[in-house]
Amino acid sequence: MKDLRAGPTGFHDVRETNLGVVLRAVRTLAPCSRAAVAAATGLNKTTVSSLVADLIARGLLRETGESAERRVGRPGVMLALDELTIAAIGVEVNVDYLSVVAVDLLERSLITRHIAFDARSAGPDACAHRIVEAVRSVADAPALRHRTLIGLSVAVPGLVDSPRGVVTRAPNLAWRGTPLRSRLEELMEPAGPPPMPVLVDNDANLGAVAEYRGGHLARTGDLVYITGEVGIGAGVLMNGELLRGSAGFAGEIGHVRMVEDGPPCGCGRRGCLEALAGIEAILRAALPDRFPAGALSRADLADLVDSAVQRATAQDPVAVDALHTAGSWLGRGAATLVNLVNPGAVVLGGYFVPLAPWLLPACRPAVRELSFAPDAGGCVVETSELGLSAAAQGGAVAMVDAMESGRLPLPPPQAGSADEGAS
């Protein structure tokens, strides 16, 4: 049911698209010859040579010396991704921290920073300043200082209108209609780092990208990543592509009503999954003595999660029971995903990871019990190995990934460009 092919695109678009195709081919095949790239992509050898030259000029490919293969005629020079030239930065804003990750062209982490930060109290403008400060600090670090920054992505826990770069609604940050991308672009303009594309997206979506590209279930095409913070969101990949829906608001598993007249949720409703199994709900139930007046400082979340782990390890019945109950609700939420989108894997992330030894024994049976398809439609429930930086890493990876769709950094100025009139 695909629509009619688009009409002929402009020459520039075709070339950018083909640059992305060659980049992707070298990522898959490296080390490889130009001839191997031509064979894999269906592009002719002359075109491939021209595209490769362009990618080398942009610092994205490098020659690795000659092939070890014995062959007749001129030995093939081998190509690989140039992992030394560029970097992409991803930032995650959450209620109690900022995560910052920089990756190279191989999508390997160059820097990972975790910054305790109460984004809700700070408000969106102070948060934008803090993000830019963190990006500048990372850009100046020795591992990045000589690299071209190809893009910045910012992950936010809430509804994001990604094409416009606006946070539509993030109840746990108390943000609504926040034009985050344009504010970041304004703040970055006057001084370095130099202008670069800025992407704003939902944290669960970018967590799912990180899992798909580099998690231990990497390349599971139908994969759901569930954030485990104060909020719960799902990033849903189908055939390796993010399921966004008509307005970009898909994946809001945290606000599916699980029970009538349940506990109040940050969204203003009752009985949402997030109100039953989000980290704040879990901590309130597991550590009732730590919330004397119902107050919770967001900056304490990591410490409180540690306390819950310690108590559960010591078999404190209140903590164990709270985690078991939350695990059952998570299982029912995951079963809803299984029934509706039938993923091959559900990956629990964030603070769910340290709590998984007590969550999973209740979660997994609930998924099997409440899924209509036999054996939960083949879905496994696992925990992430990417820690609290999953969404930041996924964002950085998404910027690298965008190059393979033909959105490449500009080539450096041509050495001969001043001689134009001479010939």
What residues make contact with a second copy under the rule CB under 8 A? 1-5, 7-8, 21, 24-25, 28, 39-42, 159, 168-169, 209, 212-213, 221-222, 234, 236, 238, 240-241, 243-257, 259-260, 267, 269, 332, 335-337, 339-344, 369-374, 377-379, 401
* Complex with a second copy: residue 236 or 360, whichever CB lies closer: 236
Sheet holding 198-202, edge to edge: 109-116, 97-103, 86-93, 148-156, 198-202
Q: How far is the CB of 146 from a second copy (least distance, A)?
A: 29
List of residues 6+ apart from 239 with CB closer than 8 A: 221, 222
* Complex with a second copy: residue 221 or 361, whichever CB lies closer: 221
* Other C-beta atoms lying within 10 Å of the C-beta of residue 331: 27
* Complex with a second copy: residue 256 or 302, whichever CB lies closer: 256
- What per-residue string of b and e applies to 136-153 under the rule 16 or more CB within 10 Å gives b? eebbeeeebeebbbbbbb
* Complex with a second copy: residue 47 or 339, whichever CB lies closer: 339
Closest CA to 95 of 161, 170, 205: 170
Cβ(341)–Cβ(236) below 8 Å: yes
Specify burial of residue 47 (Cβ count, 10 A radius: 0-12, 13-18, 19+). middle
* Complex with a second copy: residue 71 or 257, whichever CB lies closer: 257
| Omega within 30 of 0 (cis) for the link into 193 | yes
C-alpha span between 370 and 381 (Å, rounded): 14
* Complex with a second copy: residue 105 or 139, whichever CB lies closer: 105
Within 11-72, residue ranges assigned H as helices are 11-29, 34-41, 45-57
Indicate the residue type of 79.
L
Q: How far is the CB of 365 from a second copy (least distance, A)?
A: 14
Q: How far is the CB of 66 from a second copy (least distance, A)?
A: 24
* Complex with a second copy: residue 360 or 398, whichever CB lies closer: 398
- In degrees and rounded to multiples of 5, residue 347 shows phi and psi of -110, 120
Q: How far is the CB of 101 from a second copy (least distance, A)?
A: 18
Q: Which two tokens stand for residue 188?
A: 């970055």
Q: How far is the CB of 164 from a second copy (least distance, A)?
A: 14
* Other C-beta atoms lying within 10 Å of the C-beta of residue 200: 26
Closest CA to 258 of 245, 244, 275, 243: 275
Q: How far is the CB of 317 from a second copy (least distance, A)?
A: 23
* Complex with a second copy: residue 115 or 362, whichever CB lies closer: 362
* Other C-beta atoms lying within 10 Å of the C-beta of residue 422: 6
* Complex with a second copy: residue 259 or 302, whichever CB lies closer: 259
Cβ(262)–Cβ(244) below 8 Å: no
Q: How far is the CB of 42 from a second copy (least distance, A)?
A: 6
Q: How far is the CB of 161 from a second copy (least distance, A)?
A: 10
* Complex with a second copy: residue 195 or 269, whichever CB lies closer: 269
Indicate the residue type of 277.
A
Q: How far is the CB of 134 from a second copy (least distance, A)?
A: 27
Q: How far is the CB of 320 from a second copy (least distance, A)?
A: 22
